[in-house]
Amino acid sequence: MDTTAPDRFDTIPETALAWHRAGKGAALATVVQTWGSAPRRVGSQLAISGDAEIAGSVSGGCVEGAVIVEALEALEEGAARELEFGVSDEDAFAVGLACGGTIRVLVEPVGSALPEDMLAELVAARAAREPRAYVVDLATGARRIDRDGHDDRFRMDRSGFEPDERTFVAIHNPPLRLVVVGAVHIAQALVPMARIAGYDPVVIDPRETFASPARFPGERVVNDWPDDAVAALRLDARTALVLLTHDPKLDDPALVRALRSGCFYIGALGSTRTHAKRRERLLAEGFSDAEIDRIHGPVGLDIGAAGPAEIAVSVLAQMISVLRKGAA
């Protein structure tokens, strides 16, 4: 396995590249289209080695065997294959679905249909937390990797066909991160909720009494000043920053770093009055009203939340809304 692969993230392309370079042969199978109640979403992948080892999934297990057989044959031929499978109601029930559906799968042998250098470029970008789109023209067989030009797809994590119905775009985003400044009670509720929702959390607080492994078991805890810690983490378009200290000495330096970054969400705890004072301080720092408007303050959706757990729910819901729908 490539040790540069992102932590706590699927390593299917990395695994396929490692198998190929080890001389085993490898193919990548990707769900390119679904109808009905398909087990996996578009963009889901399965890596298959020449020794019939597998990593990942393109279904709930109901068509994996057939995909593996097709992938091994495609490896022998050195050519891509397009497959289509119907999932019966009986098989769907067996994998926890209410009814059946149909999935379409693209199988690409590495080194022939999918060039090794292209897969290596994709793996390197994933390790560097840089989003990429892998684009395949199924009519011509042309392939490329795009850095830009798919803003909506990147924001929504949405792989799929372009309007021509022959150009497939597979989105490879870095894993979502949540950076929490302030190891308070709200953070203790928010961090496990965010992990369940697919975020990789980091808790920052220079106060070791608050930011301790005992209060955040199994999570990454950084005992450093927030501005230094935030700078080291390199906030990007897949990062949400939530400030919960209610202390300008800790929050403001991190806010300055965040407003100069591309993070998709910035939320800060405090009342409307507190946020108005925060705005005045940031205006004095030279930020424009439009830049300051990126901050969600008071943090969270207005759901009448009472107590740390409900506030955490409102914050996570607002983060998801901004990620999937964009800022209002």
Please state the pTM of the whole predicted model: 0.73
The domains found in the chain, sorted by start residue, are: 12-172 (no CATH), 177-325 (3.40.50.720)
Average confidence (pLDDT) over 309-321? 97
Whole-number pLDDT of residue 111: 96
Whole-number pLDDT of residue 39: 65
Beta bridge partners of 133: 146, 171
When comparing pLDDT for 328 and 323, which is higher? Answer: 323
Q: Terminal CA-to-CA distance of the chain, rounded, Å? A: 41
Tens-digit pLDDT profile for residues 55-89? 998 876 668 889 999 999 999 999 999 999 876 65
Tens-digit pLDDT profile for residues 170-185? 999 888 999 999 999 9
> Tell me, what DSSP letter sits at residue 71?
H
Question: Where does the pLDDT of residue 34 fall: very low under 50, low under 70, confident under 90, or very high at 90 and above?
Answer: confident
Tens-digit pLDDT profile for residues 110-150? 999 999 999 999 999 988 889 999 999 999 999 999 999 99
Residue 28 has pLDDT above 90, yes or no: yes
Q: Which residues contact 138 (CB under 8 A, 6 or more apart)?
A: 82, 106, 166, 167, 168
User: Is residue 168 within a helix (H) or strand (E), and if so which, with residue range?
Assistant: strand 167-172
Sign of CA dihedral 308, 313, 316, 322: negative
Average confidence (pLDDT) over 282-302? 95
Tens-digit pLDDT profile for residues 212-271? 999 999 999 999 999 999 999 989 889 999 999 989 999 999 999 999 998 999 999 999
Please, which contacts does 320-328 make with residues 24 or more away whose CB atoms are closer than 8 Å?
320/197, 322/264, 322/265, 322/296, 323/155, 323/176, 323/240, 323/264, 323/265, 324/155, 324/156, 326/155, 327/294
- The answer to whether 104 and 34 are in contact (CB under 8 A) is yes
